[in-house]
Chain A
Amino acid sequence: MSTITTTENTPSRDARIASAEMTAKARARRRYALVIALRLVLLVVFLGLWEIGADTKIIDPFFFSSPSGIGEQIWTWITEGTSQGPLWLQIYVTLEETFLGFIIGAIGGIIAGIILGRNRLLADVFSIYIKIANSVPRVVLGSVFIIALGLGMASKVALAVVMVFFVVFANAFQGVREADRAMIANAQILGASPMQITRSVIIPSAMSWILASLHVSFGFALVGAVVGEFLGAKQGMGLLISTAQGAFNANGVFAAMIILAVMALVVEYIITQVENRLVKWRPQPFNEQGT
């Protein structure tokens, strides 16, 4: 009896399930649209209040600039170039320094982390010195590099390398140490040599740690490059900020800041894409499924 009822109801039941799915999907879409809308509202309100505040002199635009002033400044830089040459050149120089520093520092950090993570004696010997080196405020080294390497690109790259190295090193080291014991023993018994274990077990399992550190450390590389330029340079966004600061040009400082933020966001996006490609074996986090 009950089976017959179910069979008879099948079409309408399927239809109900389908419509329930549609409703759920529509609800998810509406929620997504709402979040985007609220974000835009927040941005507009914030910029609007800032602009009004600056117009009515509640916020002094001489010190705190205004959205329109920043926009104008960026436009002037794009169309007429900056006091030290075209804007694109400044961005290019800073990006080049950042990337060089990031790549050298990251590769160095990964190699050092894996070697020390795999060799307990070396780790015990070096750990104390790494701790000391890590506790020195690294930005200060910028002055040393400028004295030693001059006003050119080398000093900025060196500072970016130092900023990146320790972060990546610490993560790579930790990642190697956290590699699953059973997994290593499994590889060993399956016949892997120490080198094969490093390549096929240690590095992949440390990879998520390393990638996590690359996110953070790109920001650090940018800080290294900009601070280096700030301390003394002939080109770059840091110099642009420092020049604007010297001329009490708040618009210039804010405009450079925004350009830097956009640069960082773009690169961050690229790193995320690379990461997703590298760790496709990882389960999707639950809240991201189906999006």
Chain B
Amino acid sequence: MNIESVATRKVAPDASAKDAAIAIEDVTLRFTTPDGHMMTAIRDFTMTVARGEFACVVGPTGCGKSTTLNLVTSLLKPTTGTVRVMGEPVTSISRDIGFVFQADALFPWRSVVDNVAAGPLYRGVPKKEAYERARDWIARVGLARFEQHYPHQLSGGMRKRVALAQTFINQPKILLMDEPFSALDIQTRTLMQDELLTLWSELKASVVFVTHDLEEAIALADKVYVLTAGPGTVKSVYQIDLPRPRVMADIRYDDRFVEIARIIWNDLREEVQLGQSRTLETGR
């Protein structure tokens, strides 16, 4: 079978590109567990995300997917290797970064509008302007009528919208997403994926989207990174050449999509099985 014809091809992970938004070069991260063991979270990890590119990271549970995101934020520091954001080595949290968390990271004691305005307010934007921008973003994610609600009064999908607005209001050039939609039901998730692609195409940010859902990865991404079972390293990289704009509800039934999913799943399956059996053996 001709792989080119189904709109995916393996490409080499390459850290040489000078103008890449994110460049992780040959990074190994080890840390000491409280009981004194050395743990290798990821090893010899190389990944680049070009400006405006949407990259997805998939891999078995516990292979260090989220670790890669924390390296980019500088919340974790590599043991060896370098991480560059916009060409500069990462030392502190860059103002260009936005992060959408898996768990609810909204502030429950702040109303929707106060939550969304938090970013600009932290960054010293005058109050009036911050709230104007917050209202604008709340309207853009379709929650104009819920400005004064508190997070506990909203559904999971609505809270995710608030989280997106809270992140996008800072106009991040780099968007890091850690399984952001995994807690949503499937219909809501599809809506949120469309929403994300729309916002992303307006913002032209570079995205690293971590997920355990391969179909989600293919549907969203320009590039899919498949990681090995922990300690994670890049197993293979697939370029996804499905045309944009993409419609999430339909793309799953596209022949090319199904073909791509089959190819990448064959690659990923071994790692998932390996990760699973390792977990069962070690009991960790």
Instruction: Give the B-binding residues of A (Cβ under 8 A).
Output: 180, 182-183, 185-193, 196, 200-201, 204-205, 207, 279, 281-283
Contact = CB atoms under 8 A, between A and B. Distances in A.
Interface of B: 73, 75, 93, 95, 97-99, 101-111, 118-119, 122-123, 150, 152-153, 166-167, 170
A188 B106 CA distance: 13
Given A185-B101, A196-B122, A283-B152, A191 B95 contact: yes
B123 A191 contact: yes
Given A281-B110, A282-B152, A192 B105 contact: no
B122 A190 contact: yes
A180 B105 contact: yes
Given A192-B122, A281-B150, A282-B152, A183 B95 contact: no
Contacts of A196: 122
A281 B111 CA distance: 8
Contact of B107 (A185, A191, A200, A279): A200
Contacts of A186: 99, 101, 105-106, 166
B115 to A, nearest CB: 10
Contacts of A193: 122
Nearest to B163: A186
A190 B107 contact: no
Given A187-B118, A190-B170, 10 more contacts: A183-B106, A183-B107, A185-B73, A185-B99, A188-B75, A189-B93, A190-B166, A190-B167, A281-B108, A281-B110
- Binding site of A, secondary structure by majority: helix, strand, loop or mixed? helix
A270 to B, nearest CB: 22
A201 B115 CA distance: 11
A149 B118 CA distance: 49
B93 A183 contact: no
A200 B108 CA distance: 11
B118 A185 contact: no
Contact of A182 (B103, B108, B109, B122): B103
A204 B167 CA distance: 21
A187 B122 contact: yes
B119 A190 contact: yes
A201 B122 CA distance: 12
22 contacts: A182-B102, A182-B105, A186-B101, A186-B166, A187-B122, A188-B93, A189-B73, A189-B97, A190-B118, A190-B123, A191-B170, A192-B118, A196-B122, A200-B107, A200-B118, A204-B107, A204-B109, A207-B109, A281-B110, A281-B111, A283-B152, A283-B153
